[in-house]
Amino acid sequence: MRIPISAKLIVLTTLLLVSVTVAIAIQSSSYFEKTSKQREESINLDYASAKSTEVENLLTSLVGKTQVASTLLMKSQDAASEFKLNFNQEPDMLGVEIYESQAGGSITTRSSEIKEEEFIKQKVDKTYFAQLKQKMPFPFKSVYQGQVEVLNWSHSQKPSILVVGIPLIKDPFGRITHVAIGYFKLALIQKPFSEKKERSFLLLDRRGYVLGSSDENLALTQTAQAQSEIFKLSTASKSPRGQKPIKLDGANHFGAFSKTRFGVTAYSIISEDIILEPAREVKRKAFYMAGLVLSGSIFLIFLFSMSLTSPIETLAELIGIVSKGNFDVKASDRIKSVFQDEVKDLAFAFDNMTEGLKERDKVKNLFSKFHGSSVTDDLMNQEVGLGGQKKDVVVFFSDIRGFTAFSEKRSPEEVVEMLNEYFEVMVGIINKQGGVVDKFIGDAIMAVWGAPKGTDKDAHNATMACIQMRVALVELNDKRKARGQPPLAMGIGLHAGSVISGTIGSTERMEYTVIGNTVNTGSRIEASTKAFGSDLLISEEVVKQIGDAFIVELAGAAEVKGRSEPLKMFKVRGYKENGLDIIVRTEYSDYEAEKVDKVKVSA
């Protein structure tokens, strides 16, 4: 009996209607969540206002103390004892200074009194003030305009100072001529913010620097919060207090602010998670109750889902195996189903697909062994058309010296074994350098750089492949001599030019190759290696393309079949690397020149 997936989904949907109880639970918990949020927002704003009031009272007191101390300091010598008495009775006051505005806008110190003993306890002297003044200049301009300035002068591992600057004396025209600065222990203003609660508190000056915080380190390190969302919220608001949801460390929070008349602002910040935790607890209990009601339905849904998801997961696993090139899998054997449904049909379709991929992979691997991977890819992608395309390439020819004599004295098995070992080494180098082996002609190799796809380094890669073959031949011959076998010698020719690249033949039998005069000339250059006694000759066209990357010398010119004019040929002695000449010569790279029928040396 075949049950379609649609029928399963209908049954599943019918059972899920029972989950209406979940919707009721969500609705009730959402209402509680909304109520909790509104209540906590109001409480958060009240906390900010309370902290603001506390700070304002404290600063009012500090402004008063600064005013009293500076007034006594301004009096005559007779009041000096009264100042000292008043000053020493303020344990949290570290110093007081009076500054006078001079003609021309300069500001000079009128009077200064610092409790040096307080700084000696912490192993600093009053020059510490000079360092702080240079590092954190006091904003005299705003104080001379009538504002009270409150600053945090803190430095790591040293006394932390709360600075309070106030206007002191005005001239008959109402202009402020003297200002007073009181220095107090920062702990005075930090204390109201140090309590640990579910919410955090913050006190910032009008420039966004921390004066007090639940995290004491923020105050002690004079952390800047000018770019924080909560500071921007308060500075942008014309209202003395307010609140808004904010992002803090990637999490949702509620931030409330309350400004003081001294330009500092108190903030109360609480995480949305803390606010919503009671509502979420209610939601969890509601879901727990709904879960008890729905447990029977969920069990049935589980049974149905297993019949659907398990086969799909198996198919996904098999697809991963197939994507890695393993086609020996059988989905129909892995997927078991009591009924014949779409999933079972999909398993059979999957098996048919893997069979097709297996055959395609066999064809591609077989084709690659005959034509190379790049040619195979292009032919399978239908990028190489019948009739051929004109391309600029570098043609490579090589053969083994004395191969005919070698073959006459050995069995066919020995000859094939030698060729296979030789081809394994040389073809590997060609492939590594981006070349494509076109064909094997007995002991000869014909390869091409630039077809089916070319690069601007084809000539360079082809020449480097030839040098690597020269080195590889030495290693191969060492193995052969160790086995008591005669060493091999070879000749290589390189030529660059235009060819026709494509498939030739008939509709029943085709071959991919390159044809043209460039190919013939490359073959003649390889044959000329005997006449010049060198294992490698390249044409002038190749020399032009490789530039000065290789060390070449003129071997001479020769008249070759198929060319009306003598052909210049060059020996390659090595290459250049990091400005150095690397000479690559072996005992097999040069040998005695001999006469060649199709080559006539002319110069």
Question: Each residue of 118-132: pLDDT tens digit?
Answer: 777 777 776 777 777
User: How far apart (Å, rounded) are the C-alpha atoms in residues 437 and 431?
Assistant: 8
Share of the chain above pLDDT 90, in %: 27
Distances 329 to 60, 278, 308 between C-alpha atoms, Å: 84, 54, 20
Residue 293, phi then psi, degrees to nearest 5 = -70, -35
If asked whether residues 426 and 564 sit together in one domain, one would say: yes
User: How far apart (Å, rounded) are the C-alpha atoms in residues 477 and 489?
Assistant: 9
If asked whether residues 363 and 415 sit together in one domain, one would say: no
The answer to whether residue 237 sits within a structural domain is: yes
What DSSP state is assigned to residue 507? S
If asked whether residues 516 and 581 sit together in one domain, one would say: yes
Q: Considering all CA atoms of the chain, what is the largest pairwise distance in Å, rounded to the nearest integer?
A: 131
Residue of 18 and 461 predicted with greater confidence = 461
pLDDT of 365: 56
If asked whether residues 424 and 558 sit together in one domain, one would say: yes
Residue 491, phi then psi, degrees to nearest 5 = -130, 140
If asked whether residues 176 and 205 sit together in one domain, one would say: no
The answer to whether residue 25 sits within a structural domain is: no
The answer to whether residue 30 sits within a structural domain is: no
pLDDT of 552: 95
If asked whether residues 448 and 580 sit together in one domain, one would say: yes
pLDDT of 384: 46
**Cα dihedral sign, 58-60-63-69:** negative
If asked whether residues 567 and 486 sit together in one domain, one would say: yes
Distances 24 to 33, 34, 290, 291 between C-alpha atoms, Å: 14, 16, 9, 13
Does this model's pTM top 0.95? My answer is no
User: How far apart (Å, rounded) are the C-alpha atoms in residues 277 and 284?
Assistant: 10
**Cα dihedral sign, 119-124-125-128:** negative
The secondary structure element, H or E, covering residue 463 is helix 458-482
pLDDT of 364: 54
Tell me if the bond preceding 412 is cis, omega within 30° of 0. no
Residue 124, phi then psi, degrees to nearest 5 = -135, 155
Question: For 74-101, what is the HEC assignment?
Answer: HCCHHHHHHHHHHHHCCCCEEEEEEEEE
The answer to whether residue 12 sits within a structural domain is: no
Q: pLDDT digits over 246-269, tens only?
A: 887 778 888 889 989 988 998 888
If asked whether residues 339 and 265 sit together in one domain, one would say: no
User: How far apart (Å, rounded) are the C-alpha atoms in residues 130 and 140?
Assistant: 16
- Least confident range from 88-97, 158-167, 359-368: namely 359-368
Q: How many domains does the chain have?
A: 4
If asked whether residues 409 and 353 sit together in one domain, one would say: no
What token pair was written down for 515? 């044809």
Residues whose CB falls within 8 Å of the CB of residue 98, separated by 6 or more in sequence, listed in order: 70, 73, 74, 109, 110, 111, 112, 168, 178, 179, 180, 181
- Least confident range from 23-27, 95-99, 391-395: namely 23-27
- Which phi-psi region, left, alpha or beta, contains residue 426 (left: φ > 0; alpha: ψ -120 to 50)? alpha
Residue 358 has a CB neighbour count (10 Å cut-off) of 14
pLDDT of 561: 73
pLDDT of 418: 93
User: How far apart (Å, rounded) are the C-alpha atoms in residues 263 and 147?
Assistant: 8
> Which CATH number do you get for residue 242?
3.30.450.20
Answer yes or no: is pLDDT of 6 > 50: no
Q: Taking a C-beta distance cutoff of 8 angstroms, is the pair 533, 525 a contact? A: no
β-strand 567-577 against 580-583: which pairing, if any?
antiparallel
The answer to whether residue 111 sits within a structural domain is: yes
Question: For 101-149, what is the HEC assignment?
Answer: ECCCCCEEEEEEEECHHHHHCCCCCCHHHHHHHHHCCCCHHHHHCCCCE
Nearest by Cα to 168 from 73, 80, 89, 90: 73
Note down the domain range covering 424.
Answer: 384-601
Nearest by Cα to 450 from 442, 459, 441: 459
What token pair was written down for 46? 């009240």
* Average pLDDT value over all residues in the chain: 81
Choose the final residue of a domain: 271, 306, 338: 271
Q: pLDDT digits over 170-209, tens only?
A: 888 888 989 999 988 888 888 888 776 778 888 888 888 8
User: How far apart (Å, rounded) are the C-alpha atoms in residues 109 and 102?
Assistant: 10
Nearest by Cα to 514 from 452, 463, 454, 567: 452
**Cα dihedral sign, 180-185-186-191:** negative
Choose the final residue of a domain: 271, 289, 309: 271
Choose the final residue of a domain: 123, 154, 185: 185
Nearest by Cα to 535 from 580, 576, 584: 584
User: How far apart (Å, rounded) are the C-alpha atoms in residues 491 and 573?
Assistant: 14
If asked whether residues 392 and 537 sit together in one domain, one would say: yes
Q: Taking a C-beta distance cutoff of 8 angstroms, is the pair 477, 356 a contact? A: no
If asked whether residues 344 and 362 sit together in one domain, one would say: yes
Confidence of residue 336 (pLDDT cuts 50, 70, 90): low
pLDDT of 281: 74
Residue 262, phi then psi, degrees to nearest 5 = -100, 10
